[in-house]
Amino acid sequence: MKKYLLQLTIFMLFCASCAKAQTLGAGVSVDNQGNLVINAPLYIFDCYSENTKLEKAPTSFNSEVYVSFYSNDEVDFPLKFNGEIKNGFLSLTINKPDELKLYDAMNLWLISESFFTNGANVKIAELNLKIDNENDYYLIWLYPNRNVKILQEPFLDIRSFFIDGDHYKFIYSFGEVNISGKFYEPNKNWQDELNIHFKQGWNIVSTRDYYDNTLKRDILIMNSITLSKDAVWVLIK
């Protein structure tokens, strides 16, 4: 009987551990240690090409990847990870982060605590992936599908581009965060519309920037979502 109980206990512990693993889709999952795992083909969008279009990275494309948490306009924190871009394929296992290095939700987004249903003081941060190409960083973004639009900003002496359309962000949260509403930011002259419901661990949000007729950002909309099966990782050059 004791042997049976021991075997049952081990089995239940094993199942509990397995239950923590989660497949998010589009080559993204969370393992039973809470690490984010990415195994997906990489696409490239070259802004400076004569014929700008989204293309699958060639098998000859190999690169190291810089992984960090974007926490504000000045600071990002490097994360421990294993992996790289190899043969045009993005393969990363990103360790669960250190809570001490993250910001409270209300401080990261600069939103008053009164707008939160709960979680204003929960620590969160946004995942940031990029490669270093001779000290010129190229960002890696996650899009719902391959219909990526990158448009050139007018009235500038240098070539500058903005991303038109939804894109996904991964947010790590150390607790539940709930916030929903519209927030006008007069100092920045734009409006935020947030519908955020985070659980502890990795979360996905869809972000959309809307622009006025001078192509300055007018509205930011951010919603918690599930990952589209057609989502693709795109390196913006």
- Band (pLDDT 50/70/90 cuts) for residue 166 is confident
Domain range annotation of the chain: 25-236
State percent of the chain over pLDDT 90: 26
Query: Could you give phi then psi for residue 5, rounded to 5 degrees?
Result: -65, -40
| Mean pLDDT value across the chain | 78
The C-alpha atoms of residue 142 and residue 97 are separated, in whole angstroms, by 20
What whole-number distance in Å separates Cα of residue 32 and Cα of residue 195?
28
pLDDT for position 26: 81
Write down the residue that tokens 């669960």 correspond to: 96
Weakest-pLDDT range from 114-118, 160-164, 190-194, 207-211: 160-164
169-180 residue pLDDT tens = 999 999 999 988
Q: Mean pLDDT lowest for which of 10-19, 69-78, 222-231?
A: 10-19
**How does DSSP classify residue 228?**
P
Q: What angle do CA 96, 206, 54 make, to 5 degrees?
A: 95
- Whether pTM > 0.95 for this model: the answer is no
> What SS3 state is found at 166?
coil
What is the pLDDT at residue 40?
A: 94
Cα distances (Å, whole numbers) of residue 230 to 1, 41, 139, 147: 51, 12, 20, 10
